[in-house]
Structure 1
């Protein structure tokens, strides 16, 4: 399979995602590989690309708004004291090749370049795993190495002065529907991915403490083990699968548009020394139907363990 053809991801004998390695996009959309469409096992699409409200949103993948001042997210750049402005500062994630490409996953090498300079080298792995007859998991890990020869730092609109806009890292744009999706999370009391919290609360959110969190405001900016989003006939559950990933707060939007991502730079910029590598892993449960908290917790436990 060549990089110029669609890379299809299969699970349980079905195509569940298409991976575009070399998109034909304008520079202000920060060209990068992305997954779209991603579907449930029943065939419902759960990603959206180039939507009218944010044409630089590209399905599911990795996007960062500020790498040493370069925009790898797309769209306008938030500048302290000026707001969101159009700048000629967009970078490109270049697909360098597959080290492995199987029907249920792949290992990819990429270069993050801007202004003719290679800033970061990425090693990305993507795998699809069946969980039940109605759910599967997309496992995405990205390792970024600073190859610029100098220290870099990763920021976000939040670290540049826009409160609440700490997006950058893993990001999933869901389809916009007639009504906004519902969102809920695992809470912040130390409960694990299996729903068994330190306060004795159960997987259904019963018991004392703050195990359950419902609504966009409750889960946005929270470093919870997982967050879930449910739409018309589908549920997505996003789980940090490593200790460091679980420390990254979630970026969640539901009312304005449906999207969930991680925050590499939430309260402060993330420094990356020359030659340093950092790794993040997010496992996303893709399920048909609307899951409750107990169902989401059970599938997350199975997905992360698989």
Structure 2
């Protein structure tokens, strides 16, 4: 594991960002945020949990880029199901263009079989909201560098219904009590998974994460949600259909995550999101 960049909010360390947290090729090595903590010090990410070793804190992960796995673990193959394939890619840290206590700008290469498929420009910024909450603002821009069209897919586009995950993904800690998930007008995994919402909250025993698409295009991506099997929330770049990226084309998404102490209700979550997205 390489040395971590420490991000601070109001003078307090709240997150560590590691450019190469794992070496195992099967985990699709990629930079990630872990641990991420609330202002009160509660850890709200998990790295390589036993149930899914390829879940790496908060990261950008895509299970199918032109047939290459940048998510980790098995690949869903149509008419075969989850299958072990030697198709894992790697996100390589090329360098920081800007690096400060409250954020950074990073350049990365998405590489598979010795070839760069995508160039990524990533920005991460930390903003204080109040004494019990702060916001993590993450934007990723993926540019196709192959000279020909590539497409982004998911297990859903490969034949597994409801598994359109791929993009921003946050793995939260598994606790004795199942996390609560809700949006402005719906509650529970079944009601919010696979649906679009301006924001979505995941509440644990002593913490709450509120995720918001911070651009109109980001809000068009349905949320991928798990609480019964494990606590995790992500976006879906290819929820139903493959997402084509023309040669030289760029896909941009921006997600702002509120990291708060306590188990927030709907009103408190909505108020913090409004403050975070306009901050």
- Which TM-score band applies after superposition, normalised by the shorter structure? over 0.9
Paired residue for 1:204?
Answer: none
CA distance in 1, matches of 2:204, 2:27: 26
Distance 2:135 2:89 in 1: 30
User: Which sections of structure 2, spanning at least 5 residues, go unmatched?
Assistant: none
Structure 1 stretches lacking a partner, 5+ long: 187-211
Aligned-residue CA RMSD (Å): 0.9
Q: Which has the larger radius of gyration?
A: 1
Structure 2: distance between partners of 1:266 and 1:24: 27
SS of 2:272's equivalent in the other structure is helix
CA displacement 1:19-47 (0-9 Å, x = unmatched) = 01022321000000000000000000000
**CA–CA separation in structure 2 for the residues paired with 1:107 and 1:20:** 14
Q: TM-score, normalised by structure 2?
A: 0.99
1:283 to 244, 251, 256: 256
1:176 equivalent to 2:149? Answer: no
Query: Aligned residue for 2:235?
Result: 262
**1:184-199 alignment, distance < 5 Å:** 184-186=182-184
Please state how far the C-alpha of 1:5 moved relative to its aligned partner.
2.4
Whole-angstrom CA distance in 2 between matches of 1:216 and 1:155: 23
Query: Runs in 1 of length 4+ with deviation above 3 angstroms?
Result: none
1:207 alignment counterpart = none
Q: How does 1:75-90 map to 2 (within 5 A)?
A: 75-90=73-88
Indicate the residue corresponding to 2:210 in structure 1.
Answer: 237
Instruction: Give the Cα separation in 1 of the matches to 2:88 and 2:156.
Output: 18
Q: Do 2:154 and 2:163's aligned partners in 1 also have CA atoms closer than 8 Å?
A: yes
Output the CA distance in 2 between the equivalents of 1:56 and 1:179. Answer: 23
Alignment check: 8 A CA contact 2:206 2:261 kept = yes
Distance in 1, matches of 2:22 and 2:92, equals 12
Match of 2:71 among 70, 73, 76: 73
1:216 aligns to what?
Answer: 189
SS at match of 2:3: coil
Deviations 1:236-265 (A, max 9, x none): 000000000000000000000000000000
Distance 1:67 1:24 in 2: 20
What is the aligned partner in structure 2 of residue 295 from structure 1?
268
Aligned residue pairs total 279
TM-score, normalised to structure 1's length?
A: 0.90
